[in-house]
Chains A and B, each alone.
Chain A
Amino acid sequence: MGKRIGIENSIAAADAIKMANVDVVAAYPITPQTHIVEHLAELVADGELDAEFIPVESEHSAMSVCCGSVAVGARTFTCTSAQGLALMNEIVFITASMRLPVVMILANRSLSGPLSIWNDHTDVMSVRDCGWIQVFADNGQELFDHVFFAFRVGEDPNVSLPVMINIDGFIVTHMIEAVEYWDEEQVKKYLPDFKPVNVLHPDQPITMGAFGMPGIFSEAKKNQNEALLASKPHIMKAWEEMARLVGRKYEPVETYKLEGADTAFLTMGSFSETASIAIDKLREQGNPVGQIKLRLWRPFPFDEIREAVKGIKNLIVIDRAISYGGPGGPVASEIRAALYGEKGMPAIANFLCGFAGRDVTPDDFMKMYAKTGELLKGGRTIREEDYILYGVRE
């Protein structure tokens, strides 16, 4: 087993990428992704990491370089946030459709405007439908573990899809935490060499990225969707093996104190830990509250969500993005879709909060719980368009 050290989470993530023996890193600077990429550049400069570090002139080129690099069979990493993701958006979608297993850490930050460097989930929600495997890590340890997970799952010849690890910018990226490193043996055991299904090589010429006429386009989209759905068992296996190897078990949907609960918070990312503190307090006060944490965003864990909410009357979904003029938060909207028509579907309260790094404390979660109680008093239901922008000054 590796050692447990106090370290900035970004540095730990970069170390994990080094331990994964990455071949190419292409990235463009953007806050709060910077520390991860800076440390990778340092590792290359010091000769500790044998990789091509490509300081591209934009995020659009970062993802494009990644496509070329994976296409020749090189293990490839990039990292960005918010505007960077928006700029590379076009290529993010194509990467998935071409089944190129790039690994990207997205240090979540709010999408402009107004310009803000702080954390929320407006960036990732803008690429909800990009076709990548998307997971959320709540802390440094989870980020570290998921670097190996991402390469293993994405590069698996049965999957061959890009993987995005979401981590809250600043709130997690810049935090110093205790991270248990893997040792070399563990990495070797867990992460096989990258052996892509198709590579660009003169010995066996292939054409990648041919264009699709209407006659085949729908079939191509169906294949792509099926590929993403079919990644699920490989995701599960990768988490199971990780549990055996390092003793930490991850699930698509994780729960906390859900037993006997009639109300549950549904959270993603670092807010999960904060909400847990509130749940402990609420439980102490005798309130039957539990928590559902959504780790796997794509492919969406329908079965696990449906299972988790069984017996829950009120579900409080926390969103950190807004769909302007739409049904509130994107997460709540998907949860409602997943539960629609289910027997005993819970009432869903949707709180939109924590935009651009605004603090949401355990106390705030307790207030949201109280508010939900008020909203649902006397058997009232919450209508779909009812969402609350929490903590906003009027």
Chain B
Amino acid sequence: MESLNVYASRLVTKREYFAPGHRACQGCAEALAVRLVAKALGSNVIVGSATGCMEIVSSPFPFTNWNVPWIHVAFENAAAVITGAEAGTKALIRKGKLPDKGTIFLGMGGDGATSDIGLQALSGAFERGHKFIYVCYDNEAYMNTGVQRSSATPFGASTTTSPSGKAKAGQVTWKKNMAEIAVAHNIPYVATACSSYPFDLMRKVEKAAQANGPAYIHILSVCPTGWGLPSEKAIWIGRLAVETGVFPLYEFEKGRYKFTVDVPKLRPVEEYLKPQGRFRHLTPELIGEIQARVTKEYEKLQAKASML
């Protein structure tokens, strides 16, 4: 399987819809995720992006990395903008002003734009039932503004607004579970993904495009800059996030949860935490606390996945 993943990249289209030359940091797994999502969707798509790293690195006027139609309006409203585009297109098709090309509508934002400031707009868009995909590229903090904590920052991570100090050991709250929030909206398709598992990711995007209504994909996007990692370790640490159970890969469809990457035996969470600068200060006690939480959450998910 591992060697297949190395060579199978030749099976993927060589076309780039998120073109090279963007200004993301070296080793940015978020830019990789964006590229894979764009590849999976092809040219018949309209993208609405939130403000954030991926917007900034790809659209410094007069340059663009986007070979597909792309719009950015503000930080917290990508879901509203893209569903406006969807609704406008729907009306124009119905009124005979535009041929129906089956265009896909993709909203995208980082973890801040999705689970903090843009949560309301996203919830509204889910509830209204537009046919669109929303992808959250989760690098677990406000990286674009200089690594400030978000509600998606994991417990214990040191950021510039949740620094580890003498009195506090970094982030004191547990990561908000956005995928579960999406599931609670009763939308047809929800999945988690990671750019360390490109084929799993792309297959999920293709499935999301088929969904008859809103679809949500939450992609763990390793940020070497913000996580305190050498850039060449991005893919490796993404794999560890999955193999330790910190970030399980699954999908939710037709009322059922399904793991898409099997991890027969979880590795200790410590293996994932240790290499990262943001967790450097963690004591064995805190690592134990995180391990307990990860195990508990993983078992909860297993229980849900085993339900028929």
Contacts and interface: CB of A to CB of B under 8 A. Distances in A.
Interface stretch (B87-95, B185-193, B248-256, B267-275): B87-95
A40 B103 CA distance: 28
B74 A64 contact: yes
Interface residues of A, number: 45
A285 interface: no
A208 B71 contact: yes
B69 A216 contact: no
Given A91-B74, A211-B55, A69 B85 contact: yes
A74 B72 contact: no
B46 A202 contact: yes
A211 B74 contact: no
A200 B103 CA distance: 11
Contacts of A370: none
B238 to A, nearest CB: 28
B69 A201 contact: yes
A61 B71 contact: no
Interface string A43-67: 0000000111011111011001111
A202 B80 contact: no
Contacts of B228: none
Nearest to B17: A205
A202 B88 contact: no
Nearest to A51: B91
A67 B107 CA distance: 14
B66 interface: yes
Pick the most buried of A51, A65, A210: most chain B CB atoms within 10 A of its CB.
A65
Contacts of B83: 54, 65, 68
A390 B74 CA distance: 41
B295 interface: no
Contacts of A65: 80-81, 83-84, 87
A7 interface: no
Interface in B64-83: 64, 66-74, 76-77, 80-83
B101 A202 contact: yes
A212 interface: yes
A74 B3 CA distance: 49
Nearest to B130: A54
B60 A68 contact: no
Pick the most buried of A90, A204, A207: most chain B CB atoms within 10 A of its CB.
A207
A246 interface: no
A381 to B, nearest CB: 46
Contacts of B211: none
Contacts, number: 167
A353 interface: no
Nearest to B69: A200
Nearest to B61: A210
B260 interface: no
Given A55-B128, A69-B85, A210 B80 contact: no
Given A55-B128, A208-B71, A64 B80 contact: yes
Contacts of B62: 210, 216
A223 B160 CA distance: 38
A260 B44 CA distance: 66
Interface in B37-60: 43-46, 48, 55-56, 59-60
Contacts of B45: 202
Contacts of A115: none
A272 B128 CA distance: 42
Interface string B94-133: 1101100101000000000000000011011101100000
B109 to A, nearest CB: 12
B70 A57 contact: no
A220 B103 CA distance: 31
B293 to A, nearest CB: 32
A60 to B, nearest CB: 6
Contacts of A207: 59, 64, 66, 69-71
Contact of B44 (A60, A74, A91, A202): A202
B170 to A, nearest CB: 31
Nearest to B125: A61
Interface in A189-217: 193, 200-202, 204-213, 216
A339 interface: no
Contact of A72 (B44, B64, B92): B92
A94 to B, nearest CB: 6
A73 interface: yes
A9 interface: no
B81 A54 contact: no
Nearest to A208: B71
Contact of A213 (B60, B76, B84, B86): B60
Nearest to A206: B69
A68 B69 contact: no
A133 interface: no
Given A57-B121, A90-B74, A211-B55, 17 more contacts: A50-B94, A51-B91, A52-B91, A54-B83, A57-B127, A66-B84, A67-B71, A73-B98, A74-B89, A76-B84, A76-B88, A94-B73, A193-B97, A202-B43, A209-B73, A210-B60, A211-B56
Interface of A: 23-24, 26, 50-52, 54-58, 60-61, 64-74, 76, 90-91, 94, 98, 193, 200-202, 204-213, 216, 220
28 contacts: A23-B95, A24-B87, A26-B87, A50-B91, A54-B128, A55-B128, A58-B120, A61-B121, A64-B121, A67-B84, A68-B48, A69-B85, A72-B88, A73-B97, A74-B89, A90-B74, A91-B73, A94-B73, A193-B97, A200-B71, A200-B85, A202-B103, A204-B69, A206-B69, A207-B59, A207-B71, A210-B63, A210-B64
